[in-house]
Amino acid sequence: MAKLSEYSAKRRFEATPEPVPAEPTHLGGPLLFVVQQHAATRLHYDFRIECDGVLFSWAVPKGPSPNPADKRMAVFVENHPYDYASFEGVIPPKQYGAGEVIVWDCGVYSPDEDSSGEDATWFHDRAEAERRVREGLAAGKLSLQLRGEKLKGSYALVRTREAKSWLLIKHKDRFAGTDDITAQDRSVLSGLRVKDLKFLPAPPRVPASQLVPAGEPDAMPAKLAPMLADVGDAPFTRDGWLWEPKLDGYRVLAFIDGDQVQLKSRRGLELAPTFPRLAAELRQQAGGGRMLLDGEIVSFDPQGKPSFNALQNRFQLKSAVDIAAADRNVPTVFFAFDLLHFAGIDLRQRPYRDRRRYLAQCLLPSPLVQLVHAAADGEAMHEAALASGFEGVIGKRADSRYEAGKRTSAWLKVKPTHSAEFVIGGYTRGKGSRGALGALLVGYWDGKALRFASGVGSGFDERVLKHVLARLQPLHSETNPFSETPEVNGPVTWVRPDLVAEVNFQEWTNDAHLRAPIFVRLRDDIDPSTVHRTETTRSGSPSPRQRAGAATTARATKASKAKATPSTEITAILDQLEAKKNNLELSVGAHHIRLSNLDRVYWPADEELQQPALTKRDLLRYLAQVSPLMLPHLADRPLTMIRMPDGITGQRFFQKHWEQARPDFVESVTVFSGSKDEEHEYLLCNNLPTLLWLAQSGTLEFHVWHSRAKVAADTKSKSTDYASSLESLEASVLNYPDYVVFDIDPYIYSGKEAKGAEPELNTIAFEKGKEIAFALRGLLQGMKLEPIVKTSGKTGLHVFVPIKRTIDFDAARHVSELVSRHLMRLHPKDITMEWSVTKRSGKIFMDHNMNVRGKTLNVAYSPRGVAGAPVSMPLTWEELASAHPLDFRLTDVIKRLSRTGDRWSDALTRKQDLAQALKPKKSGKA
């Protein structure tokens, strides 16, 4: 491309990560601007604007300023390719522009003066905007309206006498100020600072076409129903979720079309005449084009707290005089939280993370129109929202599309108490001072049937009773609108189901009624026909204050059984991993995992073992392929991870508890710790996305408990309360193991170990371990017990006796000790149970203490973080006879996976009755 010839001439693309020249792939929409902070020889800012398929660029040494008094030098430099707009990373030493680069700000822009000097913008007319940009640049003066996250309002680029010397000057408007805007030093894409890139890897590249609204122009819908949230049980902090305060107001869609503004409520009512100042303010947002905002109208009381009552009183006003007075006296704000359409681009199918960025860019905040704050910390947001007088919080999945008119668990609303809307179908007569209204009879639509939910008699004062009764009297009916006749005390007045009440309650009872309902208010903004039963969605991780007792029980019992992964899904994963990219976003069914450093070596090449270097990418390939066999052994078991983010030669750490953010597909269980007298959260690896996400996090080894957080037919305990106390944990199903473990650990040295080190893998030790394993099998078979075996992945072997979950860990440990001691008496020269390492040397150590609640072993098919990349491999006893541990490595296990894994898994599910096997024998032996 001729326009980029200077750019190409200055760069060696085999040495720099900067984008190569290419035609832009986006299809249309507003023009893009970007400001990149660049720590080259000196820190400076690169101001770039899109025009004719490239980025015209200026180097601004001091950066943009919102102060009209500052005339910032801007040196015109070579054009850059459009894809450069999203570049963040490090330009290597000795390359042109060497240094760190972040996207300091980005957004859309438009020329904002017509030929007469009047204000006008062309966000909606790309061709006209580009024509005016060309004219302005040729004339040496270009006035621009910027809509970025940091830079907003009108700026001028003015050429000086020097051809490449320009000035960047802020015009006087409501966005002008004296603040040092460059103090905001983080990237609007990754959140990194330029200095962070000296130590951290470059973030995954966002396609430049996704930075701003772009695509084929499309008509803005004439009407739309808003997307609705499910009810969540608690806020949480997790990768892939953002949280907003739940505003106590009227949900409104703002349709802005040139000078026309419509404010549509949830039930389709037109509110613009009721809120004329808001309508006038919103009219300025689209710049003469089209814009569709989703948000909430909120009124405030004299103390500055949100007041739904003030809003409802305002809504009842009809006369222009009263409305004008209310506009002056009752502060009312439109809070925008979603952008659905802008400048001809329909954004509803874009993920929420992108729509949120576009909204932050395109919205022009004012005292009456504000951007809702969003943050990743759900618990902190919840506390702040309640402290500010809001109802709670709304959590939104970052990858969620806008599903108009649907209630979905991709959005969750969390409030201190459960609340929902219900249709009023009648009311009972009151007693004493209550007069004509005793309790409302409320319900919800189930298809064409109105189901009765509850009588609601609490939450009324004298004023509210009078108001509600006045609204009900015109609706009197002779017909019961419910599908059944509610059981109530006293006479009933039926009404047409035209009014909606918001009700707080503790929970739904087993017979589908409300427990402890309390009337909150009438909801005129909600269409009665849209009222259906809402369930609490427990996809969140409870806060520390909410984890004990029943809340934890409900959280744990939600843990689902690992499902078989479709082969087509695994194939799709392997295809994606074939991409020659070091960073990518992996799609796993409906979920997405951001992968980084895929070419990082986890197991270095080993010439002696004839093993090539194995990378994170190789680990992910292996886990995807082995997942149908591995996941059933991980399911519902508290997980301990051995993480080696830099590979087996780097730092490694043992992690039981996960306190960082995590994706919504990762399940967990909270368990009481008797040693620390506190509760801890463990991850559960119940699905393929979790398995791959853990690998991305540097988990090379997967160690699990011998018990499951899952009640089934074979469990003596039916309790899932693991967190309330030590007593509750001991009485729960987690205290009843699935098998008795025999850990065969050879302490027979190769002679190459460092002083004090554990024995290295060696053939002599493994063969002696096999000998003891077969002897153990014979002893157990004599007790009518059939064991199964797997390699540890190192020198040892793990022998399991699958059992019905009728004995606790103390009993399982006792059994393991009895059998091991008897075996030791039979083989005293080969077996030891001594804890002293020096007394173990040269023998097989039988560790019966592995049968303790909370102890873990590496799960079947787990890799090991040692040379050779061995795997803990399930075997038949016939296969064990000729096996060597290095037969089972990451590079060749997949080739060996025929029916062995299935047979081993089947054997593990054949539970044996240990109580029967342990009945005293006449011989008196164990």
The top-level CATH class assigned to 228-414 is alpha beta
What pLDDT band is residue 118 in, cutting at 50, 70 and 90? Answer: low
* Burial readout 87-105 (b: 16 or more C-beta within 10 A, e: otherwise): bbbbbeeebebebbbbbbb
- Given this model, what pLDDT does residue 900 score? 44
Q: How do residues 261-293 score in pLDDT, each as one tens digit?
A: 999 998 888 999 999 999 999 998 887 789 999
> What are the strands, taking DSSP E only, across 581-731?
584-588, 591-595, 601-603, 614-615, 638-643, 653-655, 667-673, 678-684, 699-704
Q: How do residues 26-80 score in pLDDT, each as one tens digit?
A: 668 999 999 999 999 999 999 999 999 999 999 999 999 999 999 999 999 999 9
Q: Which of 150, 246, 768, 804 is catalytic?
A: 246
Residue 813 and residue 774 in contact, taking contact as beta carbons nearer than 8 Å: no
Residue 648 and residue 603 in contact, taking contact as beta carbons nearer than 8 Å: yes
What pLDDT band is residue 547 in, cutting at 50, 70 and 90? Answer: very low
Looking at the DSSP assignment, which residues form a beta bridge with residue 29?
none
Looking at the DSSP assignment, which residues form a beta bridge with residue 684?
638, 667
871 has pLDDT over 80? yes
CA 867 to chain centroid? 35
| Range from 9-13, 114-118, 321-325, 760-764 carrying the lowest mean pLDDT | 114-118
Q: How do residues 222-259 score in pLDDT, each as one tens digit?
A: 999 999 999 888 888 888 899 999 988 899 999 999 88
Percent of the chain with pLDDT over 90: 58
639 has pLDDT over 70? yes
Q: How many CB atoms lie within 10 A of CB 466?
A: 13
- Given this model, what pLDDT does residue 462 score? 82
- Given this model, what pLDDT does residue 897 score? 61
Q: How many residues does the chain have?
A: 926
737 has pLDDT over 90? yes
Residue 308 and residue 249 in contact, taking contact as beta carbons nearer than 8 Å: yes
Mean pLDDT over each residue of the chain, to the nearest integer: 87
Sketch the domain layout of the chain as residue ranges.
Answer: 2-210, 228-414, 418-533, 737-919
300 has pLDDT over 60? yes
302 has pLDDT over 80? no
CA angle 694, 697, 702 (to 5 degrees): 40
What pLDDT band is residue 608 in, cutting at 50, 70 and 90? Answer: confident
- Average pLDDT of 329-344? 92
838 has pLDDT over 80? no
What pLDDT band is residue 564 in, cutting at 50, 70 and 90? Answer: very low
Its sign, for the CA torsion 74, 77, 83, 84, is negative
921 has pLDDT over 50? no
> What are the strands, taking DSSP E only, across 721-826?
739-746, 788-791, 797-802
CATH of 737-919, one of 3.10.20.600, 3.20.20.150, 3.90.920.10, 3.40.50.720: 3.90.920.10
SS3 of 706, please?
coil
Q: How do residues 455-491 score in pLDDT, each as one tens digit?
A: 998 888 888 888 999 999 999 999 999 999 998 877 8
5 has pLDDT over 90? yes
SS3 of 309, please?
helix
- Separation of first and last alpha carbons in the chain: 84
* Burial readout 107-137 (b: 16 or more C-beta within 10 A, e: otherwise): bbbbbbbeeeeeebbbbbbbeebbebbeebb
- Average pLDDT of 621-635? 91
Burial class (CB in 10 A: 0-12, 13-18, 19+), 861: buried
What pLDDT band is residue 117 in, cutting at 50, 70 and 90? Answer: low
556 has pLDDT over 70? no
Pick the most confident of 117-131, 296-310, 457-471, 632-646: 632-646
895 has pLDDT over 70? no
Q: Which residues contact 205 (CB under 8 A, 6 or more apart)?
A: 86, 87, 88, 583
313 has pLDDT over 70? yes
Percent of the chain with pLDDT over 70: 91
733 has pLDDT over 50? yes
SS3 of 464, please?
helix
The top-level CATH class assigned to 418-533 is mainly beta
- Given this model, what pLDDT does residue 901 score? 44
Q: How far apart are CA 163 and CA 4, in angstroms?
A: 19
737-919: same fold as 418-533?
A: no
Q: Residue 369: what are its φ and ψ, rounded to 5°?
A: -130, 115
Q: Reply yes or no on whether 246 is catalytic.
A: yes
Higher pLDDT, 378 or 556: 378
- Selection from 411, 413, 362 nearest residue 392 by Cα: 413
615 has pLDDT over 50? yes
- Given this model, what pLDDT does residue 11 score? 94
CA distances from 683 to 448, 559, 690, 857 (A): 43, 10, 9, 16
Q: Which long-range contacts (CB under 8 A, 24 or more apart) does 658-663 make?
A: 658/682, 658/683, 661/237, 661/238, 661/239, 661/376, 662/238, 662/239, 662/541, 662/693, 663/238, 663/239, 663/240, 663/591, 663/593, 663/689, 663/690, 663/693
SS3 of 779, please?
helix
Query: What are the DSSP calls for 193-231, one per residue?
Result: -GGGGGTSPPPPPPPGGGSS--SS--PPPS--PPPEEEE
Q: How far apart are CA 357 and CA 355, in angstroms?
A: 5
681 has pLDDT over 80? yes
Higher pLDDT, 656 or 432: 656
